[in-house]
Amino acid sequence: MNRIDIRTVNVVQYLQPLREGGSLPALVKADDGFLYVLKFRGAGQGKKALIAEFIGGEFARAIGLNVPELVFMNLDDSFSKTEPDEEIQDLLKFSIGLNLGLHFLSSAMTYDPLVSEVTAFTASKVVLLDSLISNIDRTAKNTNLLHWNHELWVIDNGASLYFHHNWPTWETHLTRTFPLIKDHVLLPKATSLLKAASEIKLQINGEVINEIISKIPEDWLLNEVDFLKPDEMRTAYITFLKAKLLMIDELVKEAENAR
């Protein structure tokens, strides 16, 4: 059964830069008439951040969390030619080709740990998601969570799977836990970790992981500085995620101890 169907759209209008965070994403309009937050391949961490964003987002969706629709977005060279801001002009120039977009959630509010509500079960799922994908960037300082339509939505997973920034050592990450979970913004509310882990085991298996990784665009896996071939990278991502899934009880224990 095909679980994941990622649409490809074309950027038709660059509306404005979103200056939160270092990667300078933008609000754009696509040829399907919808607005998206566009993550650029030409930004700081390049295509690897897009891969992490994609894998993290689809993994979150697979375990039942709310994630804005992810789409592949084609950007042509016309936008850089008319952009007066030099920094943005360069970003657009280096991002010609296939990028990643998240459906824009109009009027969504940033999650505030002091006032926003979230159930213990949802908080526990997000904590375990970030343990599984090694996401270092869901802290009180930068929650990367939204409240929209009275529900919690997971965004911005680009700082996860950091093992792929150094392929020669990626296998050393297979048996590591994730001590940085102690800084997770939802950890104090994650009091249903065992229940969340049981559900994740039911929702994620090798077939789901293979399906997610198979959807990564080939172009994003091509990099002159990496010594692994695209197929070897896909195998590495699959191996890593399956290894983490097998460690989920250990990750639960680590998070409970940290809490």
pLDDT digits (tens, 9 = 90+) for 91-117: 889 999 999 999 999 999 999 988 889
Q: What is the pLDDT of residue 21?
A: 59
Is 61 a residue whose pLDDT tops 80? yes
Q: What is the pLDDT of residue 225?
A: 81
155-159: long-range contacts (C-beta < 8 A, 24 or more apart)?
155/37, 155/67, 155/68, 155/102, 156/21, 156/53, 157/52, 157/53, 157/55, 157/56, 157/57, 157/60, 157/133, 158/23, 158/39, 158/45, 158/49, 158/50, 158/52, 158/53, 158/56, 159/49, 159/52, 159/135
Is 29 a residue whose pLDDT tops 60? yes
What mean pLDDT comes out for the span 6-32?
A: 88
Residue range 209-221, pLDDT digits in tens: 999 999 999 999 9
Question: Percent of the chain at pLDDT above 90?
Answer: 83
Is 1 a residue whose pLDDT tops 60? no
Strand partners, 75: 97
What mean pLDDT comes out for the span 31-37?
A: 97
Per-residue pLDDT band for 243 (boundaries 50, 70, 90) equals very high
Which CATH topology does 109-258 take?
1.10.1070
Report the mean per-residue pLDDT for the chain: 93
Per-residue pLDDT band for 45 (boundaries 50, 70, 90) equals confident
Is 223 a residue whose pLDDT tops 90? no
Is 7 a residue whose pLDDT tops 50? yes
Per-residue pLDDT band for 73 (boundaries 50, 70, 90) equals very high
Between CA 101 and CA 212, with CA 190 as vertex, the angle to 5 degrees is: 35
Q: What is the pLDDT of residue 63?
A: 97
Q: Side-chain half-sphere of 112: how many Cα atoms within 13 Å?
A: 5
Decide if 138 contacts 150 (C-beta within 8 A).
Answer: no
Q: What is the pLDDT of residue 2?
A: 47
Per-residue pLDDT band for 137 (boundaries 50, 70, 90) equals very high
Is 157 a residue whose pLDDT tops 60? yes
Alpha helices in the chain (DSSP H): 46-62, 78-82, 86-94, 120-132, 193-203, 206-214, 230-246, 248-258
What's the chain's Rg over C-alpha atoms?
18
3-state secondary structure 128-166: HHHHHCCCCCCECCCCCEEEECCEEEECCCCCCCHHHHC
Query: What is the token pair recorded at 203?
Result: 């929702």
Question: Percent of the chain at pLDDT above 70?
Answer: 97
